[in-house]
């Protein structure tokens, strides 16, 4: 069973080297890869910015809810947690 693998491993490499213009991607290939790299970088940057903005909004909403509860407790009333948009169906 090892015999076919040994034959494949023992085959010599060809002495003729291929033409570099066929093997290398050239300037067009470099430009395409550079464009993809820049696009990925910008997408990741935008995604992180949006995630950070969402976290800040959650923190501010939590602080506002806590202040509203404290104000309601000081006045002796109960607070209904209603974060829906005005005019939105319930």
In a domain, residue 50? The reply is yes
In the predicted model, is pLDDT for residue 20 greater than 90? no
The three-state secondary structure class of 62 is: helix
The answer to whether 77 and 55 have CB atoms below 8 angstroms apart is: no
Q: What is the pLDDT of residues 30-46, one digit of tens each?
A: 999 999 999 999 999 99
**Per residue in 68-84, pLDDT tens?**
999 988 887 665 556 65
SS3 84: coil
Domains contained in the chain, number:
1
Counting residues of the chain whose pLDDT is more than 70, the rounded percentage is 69
Spatial separation of the C-alpha atoms in residues 28 and 47, rounded to whole Å? 29
Q: Is residue 19 part of a domain?
A: no
Q: Is residue 32 part of a domain?
A: no
Higher pLDDT, 12 or 69: 69
Distances (CA, A) of 8 to 3, 11, 14, 75: 9, 6, 14, 86
What's residue 85's pLDDT? Answer: 60
Query: Tell me, what's the pLDDT at 22?
Result: 76
* Domain of 46, in residue numbers: 42-75
């Amino acid at each position: 069973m090892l015999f076919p693998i040994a034959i494949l491993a023992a085959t010599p490499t060809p002495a003729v080297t291929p033409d570099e213009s066929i093997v290398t991607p050239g300037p067009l290939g470099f430009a395409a890869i550079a464009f993809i790299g820049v696009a990925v970088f910008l997408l990741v940057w935008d995604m992180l910015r949006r995630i950070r903005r969402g976290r800040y909004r959650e923190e501010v909403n939590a602080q506002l809810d806590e202040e509203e509860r404290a104000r309601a407790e000081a006045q002796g009333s109960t607070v209904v947690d209603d974060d829906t948009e005005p005019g939105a169906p319930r």
